[in-house]
Structure formats: structure tokens, C-alpha cells
A and B are shown apart, each in its own frame.
Chain A
């Protein structure tokens, strides 16, 4: 089965950021997230992580949450893929 984490992650960001369909397709590895998008404050990030847990069927410990994984799209994708791989 091909890994659909990338697709799911773009969908979650679309929902959280209220993006237009297709807008998240333009995100690349370097696209800035937390600290770059003013609407992505700590409450929004907490919501984003809860959605990641629900939709990717993973559990994220608070200790695992660090600046690097939230800083760019690439960082968050790498984290989500690693979590799903178990």
C-alpha cells in the first residue's frame, strides 16, 4: 500500500488553516509552519496535533513535540511518517 501520509497531512492543514482546495498542494519541504504562519498559534497547533492523532491513528507524546518538527512542512511530514511506521 502506498504511504498516503503526505496526502492526509495536506488535507489536515487545509482544514486547520482554512485553505482553498489545492492550496496545500503547493507546500514543499521548506514551507514554514509554526512561527511562520501567524494563524498557527499554540492553540491551533494543539488542534492540528489532535487531528494528526485521529486521522493518522497515532499517539503523540508531549515530549515528542519539538520546534523542529513544527517549523516546516517537511519536518512535520517526516515526523508523521516516522510515527506511522511505528
Chain B
């Protein structure tokens, strides 16, 4: 596995380098993995890398780019818009010569249109925001403050909002909330992996058997 970088388009023109992990042996199947979003990205990061190691052993190249504003990116998160993320993943797919894309959870909202896509445990934008808003209400309540969902949603679309430590701009919130995964993707549901999803865990965990199960499914689907 090699850490690398790729030129990510900037909204105002030009590019900036964003980081990625890659297993690249110039093999015929080259999978772009669009990571899970926000808190789930942390909880699924190790799983994604474990998956890449197994895909490598099965003869599949894979690439895990950072989204601008996330992970190692130097771009400010509160300036991002979901369309920037879509452009970023399309550019990453082109740069790495990906033949297929796989979204993980919220990453399923961002798989490039022009590639055959697989969606692992896809989730809607609204569901992600709903849970993050709930977490904020709970932590505010714990601190003795009352916040309501309506109040937070109004704030989010007028000036942006910080949820679970992630600063989301007003445009981001407005554009992200209605997003749903593309219908033509092949969906891989959690039950196929034989255990519960690692994004549910309160602490980041790992599960070799699940990574293996997903690698085998991907190998079967991508080699067909």
C-alpha cells in the first residue's frame, strides 16, 4: 500500500493535491472507494484499509481518496459543497484510471456517474444529518442547554451549523439533505457480511471476517 496524492479540482478553478491510499499494480480491475462521511469515516477507516489489503491479494487494484475538507485535506470543510465532492470523486476516478467505484455508507451519495457503482450499506443524506442533529441535541441537553431540531435546521440553512464537530456550510446542508444514492448501483447489504456494521460501534473497531466477506463479494462481482 502506498500513500499518494491526486489533483483535486477547486471550486474557483485550479487544483489542490489531496491524499489517497492506493494498491496499484496496473491490474485490469481498478476500484475507487468513496469513504464513509463524518463520524462514520473514522469508524470505518480501518475497515476500508483492511478491505483494500484483501482486494490486493485477490488481484484487484484499489484507491481510497480523501474528500476535500476531510481526513488529511488542507481545504476548509465549511467551504465545501456536495457538488464539489462529486467533482472531486469524478476527478479522482479519472486520475487513478478507476474501472469501478464503491461507496461506503454516505460515500454512496458520491460515486461517479460514469463508472459502474457498488454501494455498501448506502444511506440517505437526510438520515446522516438527522442523526448528527440528534447527537447535538443530546450533548446540548447534557450541558444544560435546550436546542430543537427545527431551530438547528433553520440555523443550518441560513448560516451553517456545526454537528458532531463538523462545520457544515449553509449551501452544504441545503444540497446534501435531499441526496439519495443512485438507483442503478449494485447494493451490498450488511446482512451479506454476516455481522453488524462497524459504523454502529461507539468506538472504532475492526472485523477481519467482515472485511474478507466484502472482498469476496467484490471479487465475484467485479470479475464477472
Residues of A within 8 A of B (CB): 14-18, 37, 39-47, 49-51, 62, 65, 67
Contact = CB atoms under 8 A, between A and B. Distances in A.
Given A43-B39, A44-B202, A45-B138, A15 B131 contact: no
Interface string B103-137: 00000000000000000000000010011101111
B196 interface: yes
B158 interface: no
Interface of B: 39, 127, 130-132, 134-139, 141-142, 148-149, 164, 196-197, 199-203, 205
Contact of B200 (A16, A40, A45): A16
A18 B203 contact: yes
A49 B200 contact: no
A50 B134 contact: yes
Given A15-B201, A41-B202, A42-B142, A62 B196 contact: no
Contacts of B135: 42-43, 45-46
A62 B148 contact: yes
B215 to A, nearest CB: 21
